[in-house]
């Protein structure tokens, strides 16, 4: 079972991907994400191709949560999907840790194996989230205050976001504030 805290965080995660705010996640939300990537990185940038590809792949995966097959993933389907996924270490590794690795690689534009402040703002930008919010989340995640997030720190934050039932876990904030 998902705990109360997990449900709140996964609801926040749902809202982040429901870009047009219509209460379900569908292919059109991902087209918006891909469009935001294009605006951020330009039509021909290498990063743009990798990122767009990564988000198209992610949609294929998320579409697997569409239990009733109506082409849209609503919040109940989303939570049911994550409940099953998080119960299996194997699926967790593949779907959460694997995705986090890929996102880290595509957003590390200068390839220094760290996510800097502006790279993190790019990550939030593809969801239409503000730079101010990106800054405050970045500060929370950058616990040793060195101005960058390492791959291990992001993996840890992501694991906490999905799995932790401790309100104090830093990773809870990965996608910004979640419902009280
Ligand atoms: Ca939507
Ligand atoms: Ca559905
Ligand atoms: Ca970097």
Q: What is the DSSP pairing of strand 72-74 with strand 24-26?
A: antiparallel
Nearest ligand by distance to the CA of 24: 1
Whole-number pLDDT of residue 43? 67
Distance of CA 143 to the CA centre of its chain: 19
Average pLDDT over residues 104-121: 93
**DSSP per-residue letters across 105-151:** HHH-TT-SSEEEHHHHHHHHHTTT--HHHHHHHHHHH-TT-SSEEEH
Measured over the CA atoms of residue 21, residue 100, residue 96 and residue 55, the dihedral's sign is: positive
Nearest ligand by distance to the CA of 72: 2
Do residues 175 and 141 touch, judged by C-beta distance below 8 A? no
> 4-168 in CATH: which number?
1.10.238.10
- Of 32, 35, 33, 25, the C-alpha closest to 71 is 25
Which residues are placed with Cβ below 5 angstroms of ligand 1, an ion?
18, 20, 22, 29
Whole-number pLDDT of residue 53? 83
**Ligand 2 centroid to residue 81 C-alpha, Å:** 11
Which residues are placed with Cβ below 5 angstroms of ligand 3, an ion?
108, 110, 112, 114, 116
Where do runs of H (alpha helix) occur along the chain? 4-17, 27-41, 46-62, 75-87, 89-92, 98-107, 117-125, 131-141, 151-163
Lowest mean pLDDT, pick from 44-48, 97-101, 166-170: 44-48
Q: Categorize the per-residue pLDDT at 103 as very low, low, confident or very high, splitting at 50, 70 and 90.
A: confident
Whole-number pLDDT of residue 141? 94
Whole-number pLDDT of residue 44? 66
Whole-number pLDDT of residue 85? 92
Nearest ligand by distance to the CA of 128: 1
Q: Categorize the per-residue pLDDT at 175 as very low, low, confident or very high, splitting at 50, 70 and 90.
A: very high
Q: What is the DSSP pairing of strand 24-26 with strand 148-150?
A: unpaired
Give the DSSP letter of residue 82. H
Percent of the chain with pLDDT over 90: 72
- Of 71, 72, 54, the C-alpha closest to 122 is 54
Whole-number pLDDT of residue 162? 97
Domain edges within the chain: 4-168
Average pLDDT over residues 169-179: 95
What predicted TM-score, i.e. pTM, was given to this entire model? 0.91
Do residues 14 and 25 touch, judged by C-beta distance below 8 A? yes
Average pLDDT over residues 132-146: 94
Note the pLDDT tens digit of each residue in 16-73. Answer: 999 999 999 999 999 999 888 888 877 666 677 777 888 888 888 889 899 999 999 9
Whole-number pLDDT of residue 72? 97
């Amino acid at each position: 079972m998902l705990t109360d805290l997990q449900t709140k965080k996964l609801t926040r995660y749902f809202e982040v991907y429901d870009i047009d705010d219509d209460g379900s996640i569908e292919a059109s939300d991902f087209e918006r994400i891909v469009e935001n990537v294009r605006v951020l990185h330009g039509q021909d940038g290498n990063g743009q191709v990798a990122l767009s590809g990564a988000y198209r792949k992610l949609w294929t995966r998320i579409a697997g949560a569409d239990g009733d097959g109506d082409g849209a993933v609503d919040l109940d389907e989303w939570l049911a999907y994550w409940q099953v996924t998080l119960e299996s270490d194997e699926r967790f590794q593949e779907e959460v840790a694997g995705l986090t690795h890929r996102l880290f690689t595509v957003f590390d534009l200068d390839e220094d194996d760290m996510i800097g402040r502006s790279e993190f703002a790019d990550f939030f930008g593809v969801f239409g989230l503000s730079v101010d919010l990106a800054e405050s989340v970045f500060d929370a995640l950058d616990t040793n205050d060195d101005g960058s997030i390492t791959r291990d720190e992001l993996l840890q934050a992501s694991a906490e976001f999905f799995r932790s039932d401790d309100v104090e876990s830093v990773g809870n904030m990965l996608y910004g504030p979640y419902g009280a």
